[in-house]
C-alpha cells in the first residue's frame, strides 16, 4: 500500500455507514452505503484524543455499543491537536479542511477536480477572510523541495500531475 511505502502506519480502517446514500437508480448493482476512513500516522508521536471522540458520541445503545458518531467529519479532532496537520488526499467538497481550520488545525487537502477545488477555496476562504489573515492558505503551488518554513506546509493542492504528488510526499512537517 502506498501509505506504508511512504512511512505511514495504518492504525484503523473505519467503516462509515451512510444513511443518506445515493439511490440505486440503475438497479444493476448493489447500492454503495459505506465509505472507508483510513486513520494513518507517520512517526511515533501520534495522537488519540479519546475524550474528544467520546464527547462527539456520548450516547450508547441499549446493548452497550456506541451509535454512529453524529459528525464523522469531526474525527480529525480526535486524531490531532491544535496546530497539527491533517491530510485529506480526496478533499471533495472540503469538509476536512473546513473542520481543520475551524478547530485550529492545519491541513493538506488534495483534489483533482477543478469544480471541487473552487468549492473548497470558497468554503475555507469565508473563515480566512473573517480573520483577515495576510497569507493565503489555499492553492499555494509548490514547485520543488517544498518546506514548512517556506510556507508550504498547509494548503490545497491541485492533484493533476505525478510531480505534485511527489511535492506533497516530500513536504517537511
**Domain spans of the chain?**
84-173
What does DSSP say about strands 106-111 and 155-158: parallel, antiparallel, or unpaired?
parallel
How far, in whole angstroms, is CA 138 from its chain's centroid? 15
Tens of pLDDT, residue by residue over 46-104, are: 888 888 877 766 665 445 444 455 556 677 888 888 888 888 888 888 888 888 888 88
Closest by Cα among 128, 87, 84 to 104: 84
Tens of pLDDT, residue by residue over 112-170, are: 888 888 888 888 875 544 444 433 343 444 433 333 334 434 456 555 444 444 555 56
Tally of CA atoms within 13 A in the half-sphere of 85 that contains its CB: 17
Amino acid at each position: 500500500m502506498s501509505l506504508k511505502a511512504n512511512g505511514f502506519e495504518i492504525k484503523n480502517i473505519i467503516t462509515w455507514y451512510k444513511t443518506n446514500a445515493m439511490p440505486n437508480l440503475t438497479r444493476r448493482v448493489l447500492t454503495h452505503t459505506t465509505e472507508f476512513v483510513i486513520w494513518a500516522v507517520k512517526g511515533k508521536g501520534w495522537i488519540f484524543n479519546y475524550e474528544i471522540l467520546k464527547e462527539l458520541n456520548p450516547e450508547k445503545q441499549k446493548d452497550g455499543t456506541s451509535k454512529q458518531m453524529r459528525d464523522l467529519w469531526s474525527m480529525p479532532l480526535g486524531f490531532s491537536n491544535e496546530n497539527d496537520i491533517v491530510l485529506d488526499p480526496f478533499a471533495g467538497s472540503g469538509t476536512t479542511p473546513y473542520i481543520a481550520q475551524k478547530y485550529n488545525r492545519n491541513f493538506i487537502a488534495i483534489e483533482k477536480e477543478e469544480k471541487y477545488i473552487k468549492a473548497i477555496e470558497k468554503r475555507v476562504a469565508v473563515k480566512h477572510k473573517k480573520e483577515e489573515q495576510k497569507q493565503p492558505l489555499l492553492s499555494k503551488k509548490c514547485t520543488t523541495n517544498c518546506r514548512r518554513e517556506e510556507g508550504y506546509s498547509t494548503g490545497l493542492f491541485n492533484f493533476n500531475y505525478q510531480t505534485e504528488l511527489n511535492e506533497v510526499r516530500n513536504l517537511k512537517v
